[in-house]
Amino acid sequence: MKPRHRRLALVAVILLAVAAIAALVTNAFRSNMVFFYSPTQVAANEAPQGRSFRIGGLVEPGSLRREGVQVHFTVTDNAKTVPVRYEGVLPDLFKEGKGVVAQGKLEGGLFVAREVLAKHDENYMPPEAAQALKQAHGQNSLKEAGQ
């Protein structure tokens, strides 16, 4: 093998190694990404089935129910609602009618949360939840106007 062929073979091996590493990193990054969906998007089946994602909105007043360590509540964006089940201790600021973001998976029509985040203060709303509420309100306005 000539020196030139050895250099080309070495460059080819390095390029293949870099491509393999990039593919592994991209695959790991993709599998760990968690997207945000509103209750309207979940109701429209836009959320992934069997994969973890975040849902946000308001805790529907009157929907909070505790059964031992399990907590059941409904997240709404004032257009659609999604029932949520969570097992564990809720944040101190978790209340009905307040903003919430939960991370978990859909199981049937039930969102099984493994993490629940509540708002920080009276004026704070998670940006994703605020955007979802704003979009849902816009859709309701269009429906009321007959469009």
Spatial distance between the Cα atoms of 63 and 75, rounded to a whole number of angstroms: 9
User: What is the per-residue pLDDT across 92-140, written as a single tens digit (0 to 9) for each?
Assistant: 888 888 889 999 999 988 999 999 988 665 566 677 777 777 887 776 6
Contacts 24+ apart (CB under 8 A), 4-12: none
- How far, in Å, are 14, 15, 64, 137 from residue 26 at the CA level? 18, 16, 39, 36
Supply the pTM of this predicted model: 0.67
Q: Which amino acid is at 27?
A: N
Q: Which two tokens stand for residue 103?
A: 């991370």
